[in-house]
Homo-oligomer: A and B are copies of this chain.
Amino acid sequence: MIHSLGLDIGGANLKISYVSSDEKKIKYKKIITRYFPIWRRGKNRLLPTLRETLSYLPFKKYDIIAVTMTAELSDIYFDKKEGVNHILDTLVKIFPEDAIKVLNVRGELLPVDDARRKYIEVASANWYATGWFTSKLAKNAIIIDIGSTTTSIIVVHNGIVYAKGLNDLEKLRYGELVYTGALRTNLAAIVHEVPYKDEMIPISSEYFAQSADINLILGNISEEQYIVDTPDGRGTSYEECLARIARVICGDLNILTEEDIIEIAKYIYNQQVKQVIKGLERLIRNITFNIKEYKAYLAGIGGSFLGREALEKVGFKNIYELERYIGYDASAALPSYALAVMGIEYYKKGV
């Protein structure tokens, strides 16, 4: 049996997937997503939080720990170099250094020393694991992974992960990364105005409400799926979400009706779908093959609604939810799960 851990150290969430497998197939898996906004909790909390989260796993010994990260972009670090090094410093305090392998943007699993030297190519490489996993499902495919904060769009072409951008800046440029997510996106970063009483009203620029408020009101997510902090520190009930959205035009529940707020929520949701569509269009503009004929997969907490709507509107026809194959937990934490599986393949080849 091979015991593999996949770690995705994100800026907002820690995602940990444990997979054990014999020579033929996966025998057991356990996935944990832990909300950990590193810029708020502080980088020194990373070590104890990781330790505590790992304690929830039923197994303590791993043959390989495959790691990817996006937390290095957080402004708790001055630059990516500081971020990558601090995250690796933390991991070597928990795991034997030899067992840690760090994913880079070409799909290689690097030893820690190498990863430190090549910090630019291990920064925000998590999308590669998602693409690699998708390539096991179809020779030609596209996958949209919509998490709490961001949307990744990855193409598989002739069995190979096909990416134009190799860092976040390039990915924004080529439509492979859209900085919009199902939970944490500030509504003021999605729209500048909203409908109210038959006209468009400019909105407040404060962080009064986020995409989770919209998605809860519209029934796209449940209260259990609202796993991030609320902007006002209040709860995640239907009424509290309504109140946050009302404040976006400086209103409250004494001034706006439920219907007013639902109309605003629907408008903002549609604009967020358009953000994903714009990303898809940007991506399609830069490739020559007819990707709309490819199989399209959905992952992440926002895949089944935001991702599906965007793909359908752009003209994709064969759309599949990854959840059906690997379960909701693995789909919602896809890069970490994909990486744990990748770790098993790597370990098999190595021995």
User: Nearest Cβ distance between residue A188 and chain B, in whole angstroms?
Assistant: 4
Name A185's closest neighbour in chain B (CB-CB).
B205
CB distance B172 to A75 under 8 Å? no
Is A96 in contact with chain B by the CB < 8 A criterion?
no
* Closest 6 pairs between A and B when the two form their complex, measured CB to CB: A168-B250, A75-B232, A189-B205, A188-B189, A79-B252, A179-B204
Given A190-B205, A278-B202, does the pair A252, B80 have CB atoms closer than 8 Å?
yes
User: Nearest Cβ distance between residue A36 and chain B, in whole angstroms?
Assistant: 15
Instruction: Tell me how many chains of this kind the complex includes.
Output: 2
Which of B201, B247, B253 is within 8 Å of A73, CB to CB?
A: B247
Is A351 in contact with chain B by the CB < 8 A criterion?
no
Tell me the chain A residues, 8-40 only, with Cβ under 8 Å from chain B: 39
User: Nearest Cβ distance between residue A106 and chain B, in whole angstroms?
Assistant: 19
Is A222 in contact with chain B by the CB < 8 A criterion?
no
Tell me the chain A residues, 59-101 only, with Cβ under 8 Å from chain B: 73, 75-76, 78-81
Range of interface residues on chain A?
A: 35 or more
CB distance A180 to B205 under 8 Å? yes
Is A259 in contact with chain B by the CB < 8 A criterion?
no
Is A107 in contact with chain B by the CB < 8 A criterion?
no
Tell me the chain A residues, 197-246 only, with Cβ under 8 Å from chain B: 199, 201-208, 231-232, 234, 243-244
Given contacts A78-B243, A186-B205, 13 further A-B contacts (CB under 8 A): A39-B232, A73-B250, A75-B247, A76-B232, A79-B243, A149-B206, A167-B250, A179-B206, A181-B205, A185-B205, A189-B205, A190-B205, A202-B278
Is A178 in contact with chain B by the CB < 8 A criterion?
yes
CB distance A251 to B169 under 8 Å? yes
CB contacts (< 8 Å) of A247 on chain B: these are: 73, 75
Contact indicator per residue, chain A 160-177, by CB within 8 Å of chain B (1) or not (0): 000000011100110001
CB contacts (< 8 Å) of A255 on chain B: these are: 167, 169
Name A72's closest neighbour in chain B (CB-CB).
B252
Given A189-B188, A207-B186, does the pair A234, B201 have CB atoms closer than 8 Å?
no
CB distance A207 to B204 under 8 Å? no
Which of B179, B185, B202 is within 8 Å of A203, CB to CB?
A: B179
CB contacts (< 8 Å) of A251 on chain B: these are: 169
Q: Mind listing 16 A-B residue pairs with CB under 8 Å?
A: A73-B247, A73-B250, A75-B234, A78-B252, A80-B252, A120-B254, A168-B250, A169-B201, A169-B249, A169-B255, A173-B196, A186-B205, A188-B189, A189-B205, A202-B282, A207-B207
